[in-house]
Amino acid sequence: MGMSTHCDAGCRQGFEFDDFSHEQLPDGVEKTFFTCPHCGREYLAFYSDEDIRKLQARIRRVQKRFADPKDNHEDAARMEAELQTQIKEKMDALRVRMEGARGGE
């Protein structure tokens, strides 16, 4: 089952999508987005670079700790929150950099 949304900046039709699209940009930046199937309007989800992708891999490893009943879940939750904060800060800065360089999305 896909995610439901509507094209609020284009044709205004509702639609579902199952997965995000990815576009490789210069300097190892990857753009993650989805597209309205009716009018082709592109909606940016986020940009990522090598540092962000490494943090995302680390957070996935930390999240696996929650499946182990013997692991310290409080410590894992603290680490997960710290990583989420770092990822958000880096994604926000990268978005500003990319959209400034590309003239906006």
Do 100 and 90 meet the contact criterion of CB atoms below 8 Å apart?
Answer: no
Query: What is the DSSP pairing of strand 14-17 with strand 21-24?
Result: unpaired
Segments making up each domain of the chain, as ranges: 1-47, 49-105
Q: What is the model's pTM?
A: 0.82
Q: How far apart are CA 101 and CA 56, in angstroms?
A: 24
Does the pLDDT at position 100 exceed 90?
no
Does the pLDDT at position 93 exceed 60?
yes
The H or E element spanning position 91 is: helix 73-102
- Stretch 88-100: mean pLDDT: 94
Coil/strand/helix, residue 102: helix
